[in-house]
Amino acid sequence: MLLTVVIFLPVLVAGVLLAARPPDRAAGWTWVTASAVELALIGWMWWRYDPGPGSTGVVDGIAYEVDLRWIPTVDAGYHIGVDGLSLPLLALTGVLFLACAIWSLREKNEPRTFAALFLFLQTACLGTFAALDLILFFVFFDLTIVGMYFIIAGWGHGNARRSALKFFIYTFVGSLALLVGFIGLFLGGEDRTFDMVALAENPPLADSPVAGGLVLLAIGLGLAVKTPLFPFHTWLPDAHTDAPAPGSAILAGVLLKLGTYGFVRIAMPILPEAWQRWAMVVVVLGVVSVLWGAFVALAQRDLKRMIAYTSVNHMGYVLLALGAAGLVGQADEEARTVATVGAVYQMVSHGLLTGALFLLSGVLWDRGRTYAFDRWGGLAGPAPVFAAAFAVAAFGSLGLPGLSGFVAEFQIFAGSLPGAPVATVLAITGILVSAGLFLLAIQRLLTGPLVVPTAAGADSDDGGVDPERGSAGHAREAATATLERTPTGTVTRMRDMRGPELAAVVPLLVLSVVLGLLPRALLDVIEPAATAVAQLVAR
Amino acid sequence: MTGTQIAAPGGSAVLGFLVLLPAVAGTLLLLLGRRADRAAGPLAVLVTLGTALLAAVVAAERPGLSVPFLGIVEGGDLRVAVDGLSAVLVVLVATVGLLVTVFAVTDLPAHGARARFFGYFLLFIAAMLATVTAATLPTLLLAWEVMGATSYALIGYRWQEHKKLDAGTRAFLTTRAGDLGLYVAAGAALAGTGTLVLADLPAADGGWRHLAAAGILAAALGKSAQLPFSAWLSGAMAGPSPVSALLHSATMVAAGGYLLLRTQPLLQASGWAATTTAWIGALTALVLGAVAVAQRDLKQLLAASTAAQIGFVVLAAGAGVIAGGTAQLVAHAAVKAALFVAAGAWLTALGTKQLSGLRGAARRYPGVGAAATVAGLALAGIPPLSLWATKDEILAGVDSAALRIVVLAAALLSAVYAGRMLAVVLSRPAGEEAFDEEGRGTRRVPALGTGVAGLLAVVAAGLGVLALPVVAEPVKRFLAAEGEPSPGAAEFLLSGSLAVLGLAVTVVLARVRPGLFGALQRGPLGAWVGLGRLLSPRPALAVARALAIVDDKVVDGAVRSVATAARRVAGALSRADRDVVDGAVRAVARGARRAGAAARRPQTGLLHQYYAQAAAGLALLFALLLLVR
């Protein structure tokens, strides 16, 4: 019951917001309050959750379980519950949506509808993570696409409509492949059911490798688009660049996790035989995504596109680890469990850090309407708090120990290497490239002489070069010159972060540090479930 | 999940405090920012003083401590432990940390961002202390990489100047390239031993042992600026002088040497790794020694000589001379810290670190000059000072003749570059030196700076007692390295006279043929034999740009062309729908209309025509009947 309340409270508040039409400010605060209550409820669930010793989760030891009849003809039910895989992601969803609610307190454009859409999206995300029935999962999964489409199309900038459409169609086609896979699972099982727990207990298609492989292909394709994995990732940079900052934060922080979560929750426990057979392919896809994401990010000249490609890189690590967890013949259970733990930890860590990075890039958009690297420089001078926050998020994202990314990546590498040494060594070089690209970004944005975009050319999107100022050097000259003459209105003043911006970003970074230094709080929840996955996939 | 090691509770708390005290104080300073600028210096001195006292306690008690971190496997916890080697390093790091902090308080400009500087400084010291006590791979990696990141922040302390942060970035990326080896080693440890405990590594089976050894070796070589990673050390000289005095004497570069000494059993067990380590150390000592000879900038000379001197430590680890390597590490730390403090004091006073500008610097400021002279003589390997003794200690353990020749040549080069430096700073000032190349000098050396340099020089000289067996034997016992060979009188005599000869010839040459060194400076040796190019990011950036184009044109292009194709197919189908499907429907309708019109025509209303039509119809029917029957 509590879980149902947690899932549907946001959409209820959204309905109230749309029906009662409160004033804009009240709408913003209602959203913040609703998200805070959500987070408190999830915190309560976490507090009460006891995974117990050994391996629990996925097929047993599910807490807050509700199982109601829904479409009895195909045995699809309203089956939800929480275990060590879903609880961390539910909590991450709660944290990120609260951060976005706080961030959006200053939203001027239709704040009521904006809040309602986000609340709707939150229900969809929570529902996907809590669902234990394939049809229910699919419904929530598709609703997230709808919600995000309207957020990008309505509140985005630049080429927002086109990017939103690309996002919608691409991920929607992916979800259709997912549906085909789910129907395959239904038809392949002996009990003819869509119930995930039942399917995981008694895996379908165990002795038909071809059918099992095809079903895994369909499911994998659908999830790979969402994750996204190379080569299905090109919707991501466009959608991110044109989305509003909170939209990007949710898209990268939560929506991408729906894909990776699907792999651990559905593909691995329900199709263990096929997963083992094709584990090496998953590993290779993961490594290619790692390197491709890192190198392409290095070449970007726009901050948001760069961060978007690092998501491809980070999700590649997750897939590497999950693939390695399926290499049953090559690695022992301990190593495969460590890899799985790392993968789930990476989902949470990436959500926090990339969420923070996208919100921080929103500061740049707010001040200067551009993300282009060559339009900014020396920001550590006028905006030291922004600089510090950006540096912490960047170092976290490049996997510096002391922040959550290290705990995840260390376990991913250590756990994957025994099974797939060559692939893992290649993937490890990815953290060097990400170190390079983040240090380069720090150097370009934060240090050196002060550069800020002038208001006149600021609206040109995707880093298009303003004809008036051909070179960055010229821009620098013009901007600093104007700054010295006290603002005349043509130049952006780089105000440091304040109020809601700080209140949204700083908790994310603090959480990342806490999870980097004291990981037990999260690991105690993840480890039993990861052990269960590593055992289930070895059947 | 994790087995917590029960150690003496009092002792383990001290060990925890040893790392946490500077870490917490440093974080606090960073969080307070500029508000804490005034208090930062005194606070840092107090904290490092406390750390030094704790280090002494820890070295005596040798406790262990474990904090739960990762689960599932043994050794996932954060575990620190102190044995003989760690005890020496802990005391060394804490002491040099204290002395350099005192120097930094006097050396940094009063209006600078001192809280930021000392914040990172303390964090760095904490990371180094954790590195030299780490007992599991997660602990080691955590401390190791935090040390790298704080060194980045310290080298790039003056971030407003673009080049300075660039040097920090280069240092971080180069050392991280080596660090990747530690991640590999961790995976190999898990595969080969099933644990992440550092001490278990030599027991790893088969190929995993070799992989682990290779990973550890790469990480250590990167951190210690050994070949081929040496060039970052040159750029790191862009950092403030106290940073050089700490990072490039007792810490950072020393960490690589320490790690190899720590994992010497693994190197030994893998076979090839020990030999490789020894040769890389020896070659670094030789090549970077030659590079040091050809520098025109005092800090660059010292940087190259740091890589060269740590090369002897690396050689010692490869050759299995733990006691000699540790002694070399300690002696070099004292020598080099003293010299960097002197170079920093001169830079602040005179505004230059060019050798040409520092002519006679030791005479202008005799206190610091005396300290630098003693440390310089020790660096040259002159008896009876410290590095003379420690180098022979290492040489005694080297079996291969080829290796011995390389080492002796490298030792000779130490005497040459030290001699060159001494010849410059001790010569009579000509009065035409170019000062203030890097900002206005203060023209004074604070007494505290002189005191710190003097203290370090005393240690640098005094450690020469290691040559006496009475001292050397207990040291070996302390380090659990009994039975390692000791040099005989003949070896001491040979190396000592080699050093004196090298020094004397250099000093004479510097007088008689000053042009000789000018020619060397312009040669490849002066430019660090192109090692910087080896670490160039250009290829990576080129690959990145190429992949980005492929990503846009091919990968996304395919997606876009699918969209375009879908639109085209839709258009074609729409045309087909209009022309073919709907056309057929319309044709049927047209046909029906025509048929209807045709059917109207016989309805004339004239009876005779109807009869005629009936007759014709009947005739037709009759004919049909006849035909089909």
- The model's pLDDT over B246-257, given as tens digits with 9 standing for 90+, comes to 988 889 999 999
Tell me which residue of A343, A517, A311, A352 sits closest to A414, measured CA to CA.
Answer: A343
Average pLDDT over residues A73-93: 92
Identify the residue whose tokens are 């600089």.
A387
Give the chain B residue nearest A230 (alpha carbons): B555
Map out the domains of chain B as residue ranges. Answer: 539-628
Q: Are A32 and A114 in contact (CB under 8 A)?
A: no
Contact: B69, A520; criterion CB under 8 Å: yes
As a residue count, chain B comes to 629
Contact: A414, B190; criterion CB under 8 Å: yes
pLDDT at A459 (0 to 100):
44
Q: 3-class SS at B419?
A: helix
Task: Determine contact: A528 vs chain B, CB below 8 A.
Answer: no
- Within 8 A of A341 by CB-CB distance, chain B residues are 71-72
Task: Determine contact: A429 vs chain B, CB below 8 A.
Answer: yes
- Stretch (H or E) spanning A67: strand A63-71
- Owning domain of residue A73: 2-450+494-536
Cis ω on the peptide bond leading into residue B9 (within 30° of 0)? no
Residues 6+ apart with CB under 8 A from A450: A377, A378, A379, A381, A382, A479, A480, A483, A494
Q: pLDDT band at A492, cuts 50/70/90?
A: low
Contact: B68, A298; criterion CB under 8 Å: no
Single-letter residue type at B444: R
- The model's pLDDT over B571-608, given as tens digits with 9 standing for 90+, comes to 999 999 999 999 999 999 999 999 999 988 888 888 88
Contact: A417, B165; criterion CB under 8 Å: no
**Residues paired with residue B439 on neighbouring β-strands, in sequence order:** B437
Task: Determine contact: B548 vs chain A, CB below 8 A.
Answer: yes
pLDDT at B10 (0 to 100):
59
Average pLDDT over residues A462-489: 40
Q: Are A55 and A528 in contact (CB under 8 A)?
A: yes
Q: Are A490 and A482 in contact (CB under 8 A)?
A: yes
Residues 83-112, chain B, touching A (beta carbon < 8 A): none
Tell me which residue of B198, B258, B251 sits closest to B64, measured CA to CA.
Answer: B198
Tell me which residue of A418, A287, A436, A397 sits closest to B185, measured CA to CA.
Answer: A418
Cα(A255)–Cα(B426) distance, integer angstroms = 68
β-strand B64-67 against B78-81: which pairing, if any? antiparallel
Q: Are A406 and A516 in contact (CB under 8 A)?
A: yes
Task: Determine contact: A422 vs chain B, CB below 8 A.
Answer: no
Cα-Cα-Cα-Cα dihedral sign, residues B204, B207, B210, B214: negative
Contact: A433, B33; criterion CB under 8 Å: no
**Residues paired with residue A302 on neighbouring β-strands, in sequence order:** A372
pLDDT at B532 (0 to 100):
78
Average pLDDT over residues A356-374: 91
Identify the residue whose tokens are 């997606």.
B559
Within a 13 Å sphere around the CA of A407, how many CA atoms are in the beta-carbon half? 30
Q: pLDDT band at B197, cuts 50/70/90?
A: very high
Q: Are B185 and B217 in contact (CB under 8 A)?
A: no
- The model's pLDDT over B467-485, given as tens digits with 9 standing for 90+, comes to 888 888 888 888 888 888 8
Tell me which residue of B256, B149, B23, B120 sits closest to A405, measured CA to CA.
Answer: B149
CA distance A506 to chain B (A): 13
Residues 6+ apart with CB under 8 A from B538: none
ipTM attached to this prediction? 0.89
pLDDT at A321 over 90: yes
Identify the residue whose tokens are 């440093």.
B26
Selecting from B138, B184, B190 the residue whose C-beta is nearest the C-beta of A425 gives: B184
Selecting from B70, B188, B555 the residue whose C-beta is nearest the C-beta of A523 gives: B70
The proportion of chain A whose per-residue pLDDT surpasses 70, expressed as a percent, equals 93
Q: pLDDT band at B160, cuts 50/70/90?
A: confident
Residues 6+ apart with CB under 8 A from B453: B103, B338, B341, B342, B345, B367, B368, B371, B372, B375
Burial label for B157, CB within 10 Å (0-12, 13-18, 19+), is buried
Q: pLDDT band at B135, cuts 50/70/90?
A: very high
Judge whether A277 lies within some domain. yes
Alpha-carbon torsion, ordered B2, B3, B7, B10, to 10 deg: 40
Cα(A266)–Cα(A271) distance, integer angstroms = 8
Tell me which residue of B257, B269, B273, B263 sits closest to B220, measured CA to CA.
Answer: B257
Cα-Cα-Cα-Cα dihedral sign, residues B55, B59, B63, B66: positive
Contact: B162, A448; criterion CB under 8 Å: yes
Give the chain B residue nearest A438 (alpha carbons): B169
- The model's pLDDT over B263-305, given as tens digits with 9 standing for 90+, comes to 999 999 988 999 999 999 999 999 999 999 988 889 999 999 9
Average pLDDT over residues A61-67: 89
Average pLDDT over residues B92-117: 91
Cα(B362)–Cα(B392) distance, integer angstroms = 29
Q: Of the given ranges (A268-277, A280-289, B4-13, B216-225), which has the lowest mean pLDDT?
A: B4-13
For A53, A101, B294, B502, the CA distances from B508, given in Å and listed in that order, are 76, 75, 17, 10
Contact: B555, A234; criterion CB under 8 Å: yes
The overall longest dimension of chain B from CA atoms, in Å, is 153
Q: Of the given ranges (A55-59, A163-167, B415-419), which has the lowest mean pLDDT?
A: A55-59
Task: Determine contact: A109 vs chain B, CB below 8 A.
Answer: no
Alpha-carbon torsion, ordered B402, B407, B413, B417, to 10 deg: 160
Contact: B141, A410; criterion CB under 8 Å: yes
Judge whether A532 lies within some domain. yes
Q: Are B299 and B233 in contact (CB under 8 A)?
A: no
Task: Determine contact: B471 vs chain A, CB below 8 A.
Answer: no
Q: pLDDT band at A455, cuts 50/70/90?
A: low
Cα(B81)–Cα(B279) distance, integer angstroms = 30
- The model's pLDDT over B9-40, given as tens digits with 9 standing for 90+, comes to 556 889 999 999 999 999 999 999 888 888 89
Contact: B1, A523; criterion CB under 8 Å: yes
Number of domains chain A is built from: 1
Cα(A108)–Cα(A329) distance, integer angstroms = 57
Determine which of A241, A310, A411, A509 to mutate to test the interface with B (most B C-beta atoms within 10 Å).
A411
Cis ω on the peptide bond leading into residue B228 (within 30° of 0)? yes
Average pLDDT over residues B89-106: 93
The residue ranking higher by pLDDT, A109 or B131, is B131
pLDDT at A205 over 90: no
Residues 197-256, chain B, touching A (beta carbon < 8 A): 211
Q: Are B402 and B338 in contact (CB under 8 A)?
A: no
pLDDT at A482 over 60: no
Give the DSSP letter of residue B486.
Answer: -
Give the chain B residue nearest A417 (alpha carbons): B187
Average pLDDT over residues B76-101: 93
Within a 13 Å sphere around the CA of B298, how many CA atoms are in the beta-carbon half? 33
The proportion of chain A whose per-residue pLDDT surpasses 90, expressed as a percent, equals 72
Cα(B184)–Cα(A428) distance, integer angstroms = 8
Tell me which residue of B93, B173, B79 sits closest to B133, measured CA to CA.
Answer: B79
DSSP sequence for B49-83 = HHHHHHHHHHHHH--EEEE----SSBT-SEEEE--
Contact: A334, B69; criterion CB under 8 Å: no
Residues 516-545, chain B, touching A (beta carbon < 8 A): 537, 540-541, 543-545
Neighbours of A177 (CB within 10 A): 18
Determine which of A334, A439, A446, A450 to mutate to test the interface with B (most B C-beta atoms within 10 Å).
A439
Question: Taking all residues of chain B, what is their mean pLDDT, rounded to a whole number?
Answer: 89
Judge whether A227 lies within some domain. yes
- The model's pLDDT over B547-575, given as tens digits with 9 standing for 90+, comes to 989 988 888 888 889 889 999 999 999 99
Give the chain B residue nearest A342 (alpha carbons): B70
Q: pLDDT band at B1, cuts 50/70/90?
A: very low
Average pLDDT over residues A348-355: 96
Task: Determine contact: A172 vs chain B, CB below 8 A.
Answer: no
pLDDT at B584 (0 to 100):
92
Burial label for A518, CB within 10 Å (0-12, 13-18, 19+), is middle
Give the DSSP letter of residue A379.
Answer: T
Identify the residue whose tokens are 């306690």.
B57
Q: Are B396 and B321 in contact (CB under 8 A)?
A: yes
Q: 3-class SS at A133?
A: strand
Give the DSSP letter of residue B482.
Answer: T
- The model's pLDDT over B494-505, given as tens digits with 9 standing for 90+, comes to 889 999 999 999
Judge whether A412 lies within some domain. yes
- Stretch (H or E) spanning A490: none
Q: Are A160 and A242 in contact (CB under 8 A)?
A: yes
For A198, A269, A525, B132, the CA distances from A77, given in Å and listed in that order, are 12, 19, 26, 57
pLDDT at B7 (0 to 100):
44
Determine which of B551, B552, B562, B564 to mutate to test the interface with A (most A C-beta atoms within 10 Å).
B551
Give the chain A residue nearest B162 (alpha carbons): A448
pLDDT at A491 (0 to 100):
53
Question: Taking all residues of chain A, what is their mean pLDDT, rounded to a whole number?
Answer: 89
H helices of A279-332, where? 279-298, 303-325
pLDDT at B236 over 90: no
Q: Indicate left, alpha or beta for B381 from its phi (over 0: left) and psi (-120 to 50: alpha).
A: left
Task: Determine contact: A438 vs chain B, CB below 8 A.
Answer: no
Average pLDDT over residues B121-144: 94
Q: pLDDT band at A456, cuts 50/70/90?
A: very low
Selecting from A295, A428, A442 the residue whose C-beta is nearest the C-beta of B543 gives: A295
Residues 6+ apart with CB under 8 A from B486: B393, B396, B469, B472
- Within 8 A of B558 by CB-CB distance, chain A residues are 231
pLDDT at B605 (0 to 100):
82
Task: Determine contact: A335 vs chain B, CB below 8 A.
Answer: yes
The residue ranking higher by pLDDT, B129 or A329, is B129
- Within 8 A of A331 by CB-CB distance, chain B residues are 191
- The model's pLDDT over A404-421, given as tens digits with 9 standing for 90+, comes to 999 999 999 999 999 999
Task: Determine contact: B39 vs chain A, CB below 8 A.
Answer: no
Residues 560-579, chain B, touching A (beta carbon < 8 A): 563
Residues 6+ apart with CB under 8 A from A374: A301, A444, A451, A463, A472, A475
